[in-house]
Structure 1
Amino acid sequence: MPLILKMVKAITGMRFAAIARVTDTQWVACAVDDSINFGLIPGGELVLETTICHEIRQHQKPVIFKHASEDAVYSAHHTPATYRLESYVSIPIVRKNGDFFGTLCAIDQLPAQFDEETVSNTLTLFAELIAVQLDAQADLEAKTIALATATETGILRDQFIAVLGHDLRSPLSAIRMSADMLEAKLPTGREQKLATAIRQSSQRMSHLIEDVLDFSRGKLGGGIPVKRNLVDSLGDIFTGVINEVAASHPHVKITHDVVIPPGIFCDAGRMAQLLSNLLGNAVTHGSADHPVEVLASMQDAHIVLSVRNQGPEIPGTLMPLLFQPFTRSAGGGRGEGLGLGLYIASQIVAGHQGTLSVTSTPEGGTRFVARFPGTLEWTQSS
């Protein structure tokens, strides 16, 4: 702003230049370059009705005169008389949305010598530059406020999720233990089925809570934490997950071929969660008339885990979004959960320096394939 005012003075030959904020009630100086001791400083005010800017606000056109006492219009105008002005230039500043902000003006108590067209065109460009800067500043302030609000909201959300997950775990554990005891003691029949349903619902709720907590931890810490160790029983872990899912979904047939050697460098708990999420997704969205297939093996020092189901083909537009949080795959209305399972699965595989891919065709069904280095040596070399 100071540079623009200096250039205004140089181009017009006048000794006072200012940027004024003009409303329907006030004239306030925003920036001032004063070489005639006019008496205005930034923040200073003039009585609105004594200024020509009051009129410019209404018609939004430049006002220029070089010698007021000889001017046909302004020789009798109250503003030059009030402030003893001979030369005057005032250009409206209009923002991009059409709102009138104020004026870019120059004054002097002496007559000025300049080309009116050149001054009008040049100062109009300056006024447009000022408007652009005002818009940019307003946009920055709005984004800063929005960012602060979003940050605060995000912190509160993450705190809420963490507290909620912690506080829900205890009553859920009590419900599950009670359901286990009832299921074991009740005679076969309706009552035992109710206890089984309670146990299965509590398990599903527990998985949902863990998904939400993992999502929260991943967003806060740059990814879901993975702690890798040498594991000799990864094959047994996968088989255990398959049996658990099969017991919870007796209406679905699951076939599996798991052949994994000992000494796999991985996070055993996260591997169980990975297969549970992939298998749960396949069971939920697959056709009950076709088995779900699980294959796990060691190939070229990599663990390759494949889960395939036969069901509706996933639309091509949805494929790029499958591993994004809160996205559900196509499943024909039997979907459960929050849409975090595949996102968490992808994060677990990424934490193991691997990849998770998906293919889906009407003939071959939908297949998710997780592939990651299975040996410590390969991980260190890569």
Structure 2
Amino acid sequence: MPTVNFAPDIRAVTQIQAVPMILRLVKHLTGLRFAAVVRVTEKHWVTCAVDDSLSFGLQPGDELELESTICHEIRQHRQPVVFGDASNHQVYATHHTPLKYGLRSYISVPIIRANGEFFGTLCAIDPEPSEVERPEILQNLTLFAQLIAANLDIQNSLDATRTELEDVRETGRLRDQFIAVLGHDLRTPLSAIRMSAELLETKLTERSTRKLVHAIHSSTQRMGVLIENVLDFARGRLGGGIPVSRSKVDNLQAEIHRVINEVRNSKPDAQIEQSIDVPIGIKCDPVRVGQLLSNLLGNAITHGDIAFPIQVRAYVDREHLIISVTNEGEPIEPARLPLIFQPYTRFEESGLGGGLGLGLYIASEIVKGHHGSITVTSTADEGTCFRACFPLI
């Protein structure tokens, strides 16, 4: 076992939801039966994530002697290494790594973070020869390595945000300014992930592999929502509220349907039943109304019982537009109801895995920007219902 504590690096990799899918795709594209994400430092080679159909024997946290690996050389020259049959290769036929571990086919691509730090490699091996030297395979693995590096950068930024928020909680304005700058910076690596996933999806034809890439793309959409929530929170705290641009809208019903379909596509296990009857000519900000509904649906999916359908209604009652989202599940405790629209409420009560707790706060600010109101009722018999109400004109 390594003498240095690599637990944070292993945890950072395992927290990337796309990594298991990436390793499966690596095995599928290369035909090799062992794939891994490896942390490589000046003195250590440590596995962070593994997909092993060879029973090679390595698990996350296991270490090989650094000098016995080719990744040691890759760390020095920062270039991929690929060979399909070591026994017929001019360099690797006598190289100590294939001889020591009985390898004939091998591919390894460096994972380099935005600040230039060499994190490690994305690699795959097999004791049998394989046609891995095709250019499209190296191109795809290079994209995967970039996706992993971008995710590590995002996680590092989010971890820094959480630490900073805890340290400067009493200095609210500094905290809000920090979040605003950080949210802006997170957009760049997120755009790189999204563009890479879209490019990769155009190159794959098999339905199963396209489905995996689609899952990666869905993850970037969820990260995008988180970043926009963070930015909106900072704008609201620094500028006196979340900006809302109201105008006469004739297609609000289409925007509501779009949001519902988007949530259905990203959360296929969720059941959503809808009753939408919205007239033309409503004065509102359609983008913000869509964000409001998306946040309420996300909350219902996260905290409701997925065995029961979520009810979405949008209709006009007298001179007001009503949008309600109802889900079944454990009712909200009465003592928590007055705090439900406060920022960080969910975060503090559910731990780091519960999100930042900004969705309902932003929903309430959007309704406030429309001169309306939002309420919540929650009982065991009738479920939990969030009801947003704002004037038509």
Q: Same fold (TM over 0.5)?
A: yes
Distance apart, 1:227 and its partner CA: 1.0
Going from structure 1 to structure 2, the CA distance change for 1:367 and 1:155 (only over 3 Å counts) comes to closer
Conservation of the 8 A alpha-carbon contact between 2:168 and 2:174? no
Q: Confirm or deny that 1:201 pairs with 2:201.
A: no
SS in structure 1 at match of 2:335: coil
The one-letter code of the counterpart of 1:341 is G
Which position in structure 1 is the counterpart of 2:240? 222
The 5 A counterparts of 1:64-83 are none
Provide the secondary structure at the position in 1 that maps to 2:377.
strand
Q: CA deviation at 1:185?
A: 3.6
User: Could you tell me how far apart the structure 2 residues matched to 1:359 and 1:253 are?
Assistant: 21
From 290, 302, 325, the counterpart of 1:272? 290
2:306 and 2:261 map into 1 onto residues whose CA distance is: 17
Residue 308 of structure 2 is aligned to residue 290 of structure 1: yes
* 1:305-320 equivalent positions in 2, closer than 5 A: 305-320=323-338
Residues 314 and 169 from structure 1, CA distance in 2 versus in 1: closer, same or farther, beyond 3 angstroms?
A: same
Q: Secondary structure at the match of 1:328?
A: helix
Q: Which residue of 2 aligns with 1:360?
A: 378
Q: Contact conserved, 1:234 with 1:268, CA < 8 A, in 2? A: yes
Shift of 1:153: 4.0
Counterpart mapping for 1:1-382 below 5 A: 153-328=171-346, 336-375=354-393
When residues 330 and 193 of structure 1 are mapped into structure 2, their CA distance, relative to the original with a 3 A threshold, is farther
- 1:151 Cα deviation (Å)? 11
Asked if structure 1 preserves the Cα contact closer than 8 Å seen for 2:173 and 2:238, the reply is no
Unaligned stretches of 5+ residues in structure 1 = 1-148, 376-382
Per-residue CA deviation, residues 203-235 of structure 1 (Å, 9 max, x unaligned), is 111111111111111111111111111111111
Give the whole-Å Cα distance in 1 for the aligned partners of 2:181 and 2:276.
38
Superposition TM-score, scaled by structure 1 size: 0.56
- Measured at CA, do residues 329 and 162 of structure 1 come closer, stay the same or move farther in structure 2, by a change above 3 Å? closer
Alignment match, 1:80: none
Whether the 8 Å contact between 2:372 and 2:390 is mirrored in structure 1 is: yes
User: Is the Cα–Cα contact under 8 Å of residues 285 and 334 in structure 1 kept in the other structure?
Assistant: no
Task: Please tell me the residue identity of whatever aligns with 1:158.
Answer: D
Aligned counterparts of 2:174 and 2:349: Cα–Cα separation in 1: 33
In 1, distance between residues paired with 2:295 and 2:252?
16
Once the two structures are TM-superposed, the CA of residue 285 in structure 1 deviates from its matched residue by 1.2
Please report how far the alpha carbon of residue 335 of structure 1 lies from its aligned counterpart in structure 2 after TM superposition.
Answer: 6.5
Asked which structure has the greater CA Rg, the reply is 1
Per the alignment, do residues 208 and 262 of structure 1 end up closer, same or farther by CA in structure 2, a change over 3 Å counting?
same
Q: TM-score, normalised by structure 2?
A: 0.54
Structure 1 residues 163 and 332, CA gap change in structure 2 (3 angstroms): closer
Between stretches 356-365 and 177-186, larger displacement belongs to: 177-186
Contact 2:272–2:311 (8 Å) recurs in 1: yes
Q: 3-state SS of the aligned residue for 1:360? A: strand
1:231 partner letter: V
CA distance in 2, matches of 1:233, 1:323: 28
Q: 1:249 to 1:331 in 2, by over 3 A?
A: farther
Check conservation: 2:304, 2:328, Cα contact below 8 A: yes
CA distance in 1, matches of 2:354, 2:207: 27
Given that residues 314 and 330 in structure 1 are in contact (C-alpha distance below 8 angstroms), is that contact kept between their aligned partners in structure 2? no
* Residues 176 and 250 of structure 1: CA distance in aligned 2, closer, same or farther (over 3 Å): same
Number of the residue aligned with 2:3 = none
Which consecutive unaligned segments of at least 5 residues does structure 2 have? 1-166
Distance 1:297 1:160 in 2: 39
Q: For each residue in 1:11-54, what CA deviation from the matched residue of structure 2 results, as whole angstroms up to 9, or x when unmatched?
A: xxxxxxxxxxxxxxxxxxxxxxxxxxxxxxxxxxxxxxxxxxxx
Secondary structure in 1 matching 2:222: helix
- Rounded to whole Å, the distance in 2 between the matches of 1:214 and 1:228 is 17
Q: Percent of aligned pairs with the same residue?
A: 56
- Residues 44-98 of structure 1 show CA distances to partners (whole Å, capped at 9, x for unaligned) of xxxxxxxxxxxxxxxxxxxxxxxxxxxxxxxxxxxxxxxxxxxxxxxxxxxxxxx
Mapped partners of 2:359, 2:268: distance in 1:
21
Superposed CA RMSD = 2.6
